[in-house]
């Protein structure tokens, strides 16, 4: 009778000696056992389940040694803008997101590229033209700045009198001094991110963690090291 042992045959396996073709390996529980030529394995073994990999490549799982799990999971649920090549495409994507989520209190997007602006400055007015009625927060692709609309500036309480934090800046109109809609470096980290974190619930954080883990497993990542575990992160890990 078959046991919990599974033998995988006809695989190309990455080993410490390099890639070895036409091999088999057996797994009992969570333990990978011997590697041997597939020709040595009987396809009708009664003590194990035999799976033919038909030449597929097998390698160890990846380890992400520096990650932020909840941030990753949240970013996966945001409006994705990396593929937008123009301002018009960014605006169109935001309009679609607004139409598809009419009850959303705000729109969160990520990964927009400066090259899509073709030399234009990222201003609140460009975002207001797409979504004027609720706050819009868009993380840049490098995660070092956030582009927001007028409603978001109002939600954040950012005015011409708001001081720049040490190590960051709120871009301003040179004539009026009003915020233009870009918050750079620590202005994003100390003004935008904490404000949005206060809006999140435990259910949100649990959903982000689930998204991050599902994404990792689908990509072959089997271990991860979170580099900035706060109390909210820890409680999400414990609930999971």
Choose between 164 and 6: higher pLDDT.
Answer: 164
187: β partners: none
Residue 224: pLDDT over 70: yes
Cβ neighbours of residue 166 closer than 8 Å, sequence gap 6 or more: 186
Mean pLDDT score, 76-94: 98
Q: Could you give the percent of the chain with pLDDT greater than 90?
A: 78
Given pLDDT bands bounded at 50, 70 and 90, which one contains residue 159?
very high
31: β partners: 28
Domain boundaries for CATH 3.10.310.70 within the chain: 69-199
| Fold classified for 69-199 | Diaminopimelate Epimerase; Chain A, domain 1 (3.10.310)
Choose between 39 and 194: higher pLDDT.
Answer: 194
Token output for 27: 């797994």
C-alpha distances (whole Å) from 74 to each of 113, 132, 182 are 19, 23, 21
3-state SS record for 101-116:
CCCCCCEEEEEECHHH
Mean pLDDT score, 112-129: 97
Task: State the Cα–Cα distance between residues 159 and 178, nearest whole angstrom.
Answer: 7
Residue 31: pLDDT over 60: yes
Token output for 211: 């998204």
168: β partners: 185
Q: What is the pLDDT of residue 1?
A: 44
Given pLDDT bands bounded at 50, 70 and 90, which one contains residue 121?
very high
Mean pLDDT score, 200-209: 97
Given pLDDT bands bounded at 50, 70 and 90, which one contains residue 204?
very high
Domain boundaries for CATH 2.30.40.10 within the chain: 5-60
pTM of the entire predicted model: 0.82
Residue 164: pLDDT over 70: yes
Q: Which long-range contacts (CB under 8 A, 24 or more apart) does 2-7 make?
A: 2/46, 2/47, 2/48, 2/49, 3/28, 3/47, 3/48, 4/28, 4/29, 5/47, 5/48, 5/49, 6/48, 6/49, 6/50, 6/51, 7/41, 7/45, 7/48, 7/49, 7/50, 7/51
What's 5-60's CATH class? mainly beta
Task: State the Cα–Cα distance between residues 116 and 181, nearest whole angstrom.
Answer: 17
Q: What is the pLDDT of residue 2?
A: 47
Q: How confident is the prediction for the chain on average, in pLDDT?
A: 92
């Amino acid at each position: 009778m078959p046991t919990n042992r599974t033998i995988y045959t006809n695989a190309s396996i990455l080993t410490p000696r390099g890639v070895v073709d036409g091999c088999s390996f057996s797994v009992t529980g969570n333990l990978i056992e011997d590697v041997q030529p597939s020709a040595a394995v009987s396809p009708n073994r009664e003590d194990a389940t035999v799976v033919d990999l038909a030449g597929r490549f097998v390698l160890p799982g990846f380890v992400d040694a520096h990650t932020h799990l909840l941030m990753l999971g949240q970013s996966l649920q945001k409006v994705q803008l990396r593929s937008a090549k123009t301002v018009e495409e960014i605006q169109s994507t935001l309009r679609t997101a607004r139409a598809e989520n009419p009850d959303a209190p705000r729109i969160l997007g990520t990964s927009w590229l400066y090259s899509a602006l073709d030399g234009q400055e990222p201003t609140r007015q460009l975002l207001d033209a797409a979504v004027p009625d609720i706050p819009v927060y868009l993380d840049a692709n490098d995660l070092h700045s956030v582009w927001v609309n007028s409603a978001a500036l109002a939600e954040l309480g950012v005015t011409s009198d708001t001081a720049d934090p040490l190590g960051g800046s709120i871009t301003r109109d040179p004539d009026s001094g009003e915020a233009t809609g870009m918050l750079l470096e620590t202005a994003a980290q100390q003004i935008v991110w904490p404000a949005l974190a206060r809006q999140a619930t435990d259910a949100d954080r649990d959903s982000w963690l689930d998204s991050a883990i599902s994404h990792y497993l689908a990509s072959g990542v089997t271990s991860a090291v979170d580099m900035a575990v706060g109390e909210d992160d820890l409680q999400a890990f414990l609930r999971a």
